[in-house]
């Protein structure tokens, strides 16, 4: 079993107090905290190994390049991609999805169709809408059932001879629903369509194997995996990336430049224009190592225990309304207390020391489907404890009494 109390010692921020109360950090879906070893690695590189990568013959540049490329190799292993060059560094999941929409999108024509779901984060909606404005593609949307699971019958009915791509979240950042992405990939491929998976909420919480899933593209972020901010990953199948035009132009992504014409660098550098955040990219490897040392299965089991424990106790709070009850959901609880506004609930909880998220969570179409403006969201990580859940539920009872 995972020892959360021992793990907490690696995260100094968890010793903080806010408004004189011990901090309870339940906003892990937005961003996880960072262990000391990752911060130490960032500091070490800035102090001893800061030099631009890929372009220098001197020792520091070579060391920094090796460090960054070791992270690329580590990511490939972490998600079981086939080739290092299938791993593209981005600034985050948002940029990774925008890369696919902007680059692969250039291969689409007016009338081609893309299937999304109503539970998508805005980062997996707006890039496709921008493509729709530029190219005239058609966007279709899969609804959900009353538990927050995808309506797979409708999903299958949306396919036509013009369907080119499905873009879907692996796990909903609001509902915690774990989507059947392997089934989605199988069905899409049987109709000649590709699949892009937003894995931002999945990679920190369960074992992801992009080959077993069958994903054509898979995007995720370091900062939700106990790593640095500003680093993300796009996995893409090699033959697809090779056929796609560059996303941005500049240094690093070129083969040869002249005013009569320019050629592109080989993968993965074709999609990595400019000086990368090589320090944080290198430290991302330390975060993945940290997760592997604890064990993703142990992390998942611990978070599942917290979810079940919290859900049972929260349902006893007067007026409690939990959104997202699909079987096998991830450790996310979105809720409202009666008709109280989510912001009021969040402010009161903050004053009691609880860091939760309030609002539409960048999922306004989903909120419209649910018939609400927003929710309060509590989300768990490996350093959270049952004792924190007990304190949280006690606070919810106080809030319910204050807002009734």
So which residues are the catalytic ones?
Answer: 362
Pick from 78, 359, 74, 375: nearest CA to 202: 78
- C-alpha to C-alpha distances, 32 to 249, 327, 355, nearest whole angstrom: 32, 24, 12
Instruction: For residue 377, report the phi and psi dihedrals to the nearest 5 degrees.
Output: -125, 125
Pick from 125, 136, 134, 244: nearest CA to 173: 125
Per-residue DSSP letter, 123: G
Distance CA 161, CA 174 (A): 32
Distance CA 198, CA 214 (A): 13
Cβ atoms 177, 325 nearer than 8 A: no
Checking 43-49 for CB contacts under 8 A at 24+ apart, the result is: 45/279, 45/282, 45/283, 46/279
Cβ atoms 268, 86 nearer than 8 A: yes
Distance CA 287, CA 37 (A): 8
Distance CA 282, CA 71 (A): 6
Cβ atoms 149, 124 nearer than 8 A: no
Neighbour-count burial for 274-284, b at 16+ CB within 10 Å, e otherwise: eebbbbbbbbb
**CA atoms within 13 A of residue 330's CA, in its CB half-sphere:** 31
Cβ atoms 288, 77 nearer than 8 A: no
Cis bond leading into 268, ω under 30°?
yes
Instruction: For residue 48, report the phi and psi dihedrals to the nearest 5 degrees.
Output: -130, -15
Q: Which two tokens stand for residue 229?
A: 């901010």
Continuous H helices in 244-385: 278-294, 296-314, 342-351, 364-370
Distance CA 118, CA 365 (A): 6
Per-residue DSSP letter, 124: G
Instruction: For residue 403, report the phi and psi dihedrals to the nearest 5 degrees.
Output: -100, 0
């Amino acid at each position: 079993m995972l020892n959360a109390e021992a793990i907490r010692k690696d995260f100094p921020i968890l010793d903080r107090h806010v408004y004189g109360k011990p901090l309870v950090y339940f906003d892990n879906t937005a961003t996880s905290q960072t262990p000391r070893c990752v911060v130490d690695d960032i500091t070490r590189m800035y102090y001893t190994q800061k030099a631009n990568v890929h372009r220098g013959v001197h020792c520091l540049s070579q060391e920094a390049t090796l460090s960054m490329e070791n992270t690329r190799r580590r990511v490939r292993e972490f998600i079981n991609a086939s080739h290092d060059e299938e791993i593209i560094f981005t600034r985050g999941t948002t940029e990774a999805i925008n890369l696919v929409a902007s680059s692969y999108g250039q291969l689409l024509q007016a009338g081609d169709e893309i299937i999304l779901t109503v539970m998508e984060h805005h980062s997996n909606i707006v890039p496709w809408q921008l493509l729709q404005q530029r190219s005239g593609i058609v966007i279709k949307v899969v609804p959900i059932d009353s538990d927050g699971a995808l309506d797979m019958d409708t999903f299958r009915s949306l396919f036509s001879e013009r369907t080119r791509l499905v873009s879907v979240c692996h796990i909903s950042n609001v509902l915690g629903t774990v989507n059947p992405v392997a089934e989605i990939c199988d069905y899409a491929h049987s109709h000649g369509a590709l699949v892009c998976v937003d894995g931002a909420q999945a990679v920190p919480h369960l074992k992801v194997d992009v080959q077993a899933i069958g994903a054509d593209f898979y995007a995720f972020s370091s900062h939700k995996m106990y790593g640095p901010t500003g680093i993300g990953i796009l996995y893409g199948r090699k033959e697809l990336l090779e056929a796609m035009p560059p996303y941005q132009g500049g240094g690093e992504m070129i083969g040869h430049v002249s005013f009569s014409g320019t050629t592109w660098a080989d993968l993965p550098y074709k999609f990595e224009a400019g000086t990368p955040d090589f320090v944080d990219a290198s430290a991302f490897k330390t975060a993945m190592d940290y997760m592997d040392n604890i064990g993703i299965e142990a992390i998942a089991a611990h978070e599942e225990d917290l979810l079940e424990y919290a859900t049972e106790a929260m349902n006893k709070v007067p007026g409690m309304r939990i959104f997202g009850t699909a079987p096998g959901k991830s450790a996310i609880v979105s809720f409202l207390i009666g008709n109280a506004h989510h912001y009021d609930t969040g402010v009161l909880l903050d004053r009691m020391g609880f860091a939760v998220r309030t609002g539409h969570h960048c999922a306004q179409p989903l909120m419209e489907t649910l018939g609400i403006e927003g929710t309060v969201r509590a989300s768990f990580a490996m350093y959270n404890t049952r004792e924190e859940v007990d304190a949280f539920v006690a606070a919810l009872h106080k809030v319910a009494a204050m807002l009734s």
